[in-house]
Structures are given as C-alpha cells and as structure tokens.
Amino acid sequence: MPVASPPTGGVVWAAAGGRPIEVVTIGVSTGGPNALASLIPQLPRDFPVPIVLVQHMPPMFTKFLADRLNSQSALEVIEAGGGEELIPGRVYIAPGGHHMVVERSGTHIVTALNQDPPENSCRPAVDVLFRSVCEVYRGRALAMVMTGMGQDGLLGCEEIKRWGGSVLVQDEASSVVWGMPSFVVRAGLADAVLPLSDIAPDLLRRVMAHRTRGGGVVAAVSARG
C-alpha cells in the first residue's frame, strides 16, 4: 500500500490549529534510563494515551528497563513483543535489536517489530518509529526528543513537522549529552525547549488541553543508556 504524502502549503501546529494530539513521539539516547525514570513516574495512571518508547539498548537490557520503570510508575510499562494493541495507560518499549513501528490492524493500532538495517547506526531507531507515527496519525502527533548522542530523530522530527505535528526537546542543562536535541533545535524544528523537570507537566498540559476538545494522544520515546 502506498505511503500517504503530507499535505502541502501552510501547516499549523496542532495547538494553534485546534487539532487534537493523538500521538506523542519521544526520542532519547545517552542518559535515557535516568531521564525516563524521572519522566514516566510523573505521569498519572489515567494518562489518556499509550506511550511507545524506543530505547537504544542491546537485547535483554530493554526488558530490565521496562521492569524497572514498571515498578516505579503508575503506568504499566512493558517491553513490546509485536502485535500489542496500543491502549491508554500503558508504555511500550522497543526490544533491543529490533526496530519498532506502529501500524493499523483493522480498527486497532498495534506495535510491530522488524530487523531492517540499522538507521543512524541504531536498531531500534527513533526515525523509524517517528515515520510510522506519521503514517498512522498524520498531523495529530507530538514528538519529544530528549538527552542523547548523535542525531537519530532529526529526520523523524522533520516528518512530524511536515505533517503539522509539534516537537518538544529537552534542554542542554538537564541533558547528559545534548546531541539529539541540539540537532532538532538547530534545524528550527522545536516548538519548546524544556528542562527535564518541566517535561511531564508540560506534556500532560498539552495532552489534556486537546482531550477537552475530544482528542487523544499516544507517546513514543527513544533512549540510549
């Protein structure tokens, strides 16, 4: 099936254009486990969207990360095995060694895994996940890029913006390595640059603001230890 093309002309950020946010995509690399341990436990059990999380880690370590976050958080955190339906209040972590994407399966949106070649020397890669989010959710996406080395996520953020979604990044002072976020900022793609302590409240505010308009949200995260 051909991949849909983004609309041309003036695209507006969902908050400005009034479109509900239906997906939040997050990419984070070096320093990610501690950043996620700060972010995820701050989100309430009734967070109204699923969270899809990519962690640049070897196999098995992502399972340990999922178990650790699950024990610390109100949200349920699992390592994705492929085929899980995305539901609110659950966090899905891509297993090490596999790309993770989201795709439609009938009336549901589910996770899917593959072992396509690495991108940006990474598998899982943020760009792969972000592209799939665009294909499924179009312009109703919010991307977040957090602490990390390299530039994985940059091209994915470009796609998010082309579709009319929005992008948040972690600031330099609170990042272990300000690589991935800096590329997004320098490309002029960031709608906001936030310290780690402000990300969860800001994310919740944006999600709930659009929920009051009848929308929903999904979140995706990528991290490297």
Q: Tell me the C-alpha distance between 174 and 34, whole Å.
A: 11
Residue type, 210: H
CA angle 71, 92, 129 (to 5 degrees): 145
29 is known as an active-site residue: yes
Q: Which of 132, 152, 174, 175 is catalytic?
A: 152
Sign (positive/negative) of CA torsion 7, 20, 105, 61? positive
Q: Which of 56, 98, 99, 210 is catalytic?
A: 56
Q: Please, what is the angle between helix 32-39 and helix 61-72, to 10°?
A: 20
Task: Give 3-state DSSP helix, strand, coil % of the chain, rounded to 5.
Answer: 30, 25, 40
> Which SS3 state, helix, strand or coil, does residue 2 take?
coil
198 is known as an active-site residue: no
Cite the active site residues: 29, 56, 152
